[in-house]
Amino acid sequence: SAVISQKPSRDICQRGTSLTIQCQVDSQVTMMFWYRQQPGQSLTLIATANQGSEATYESGFVIDKFPISRPNLTFSTLTVSNMSPEDSSIYLCSVGPPGGNTIYFGEGSWLTVV
């Protein structure tokens, strides 16, 4: 298994500001993913973070709104830019360890935009 740490765990943000969420894994992983879970909803994949290349975004998500960095095989960041109340969600980092097909999740970053 993989141990995933996310920061911050919770935050209350002002409308129009940006917040960067960090994801640290205790082992090297090829694939890191960022998901969003809006209140009372299921999880939706935002993007796949690839080390050494641009992130791959899913339909409905764009780099200007959700810029992602992946500087090495154990770390990634997701920035939520120019936040509005609609961005109030749980943002979850997940990883797919090499050689396995199990996806593990961090505990999530709970963002409230006011």
Partner 1 sequence: GNSVTQMEGPVTLSEEAFLTINCTYTATGYPSLFWYVQYPGEGLQLLLKATKADDKGSNKGFEATYRKETTSFHLEKGSVQVSDSAVYFCALSDRGDSSYKLIFGSGTRLLVRP
Residues engaged in binding partner 1 (CB under 8 A) = 31, 33, 35, 41-45, 48, 90, 92, 94, 96, 101-108
- Start-to-end Cα distance in the chain: 36
| Spatial distance between the Cα atoms of 83 and 47, rounded to a whole number of angstroms | 18
**What are the tokens at 101?**
């097909």
Please state the closest distance from residue 16 (CB atom) to partner 1, in A: 27
Please state the closest distance from residue 47 (CB atom) to partner 1, in A: 10
Of the pair 12, 16, the CB lying nearest partner 1 is at 12
Single-letter code of the amino acid located at 20: T
Of the pair 14, 42, the CB lying nearest partner 1 is at 42
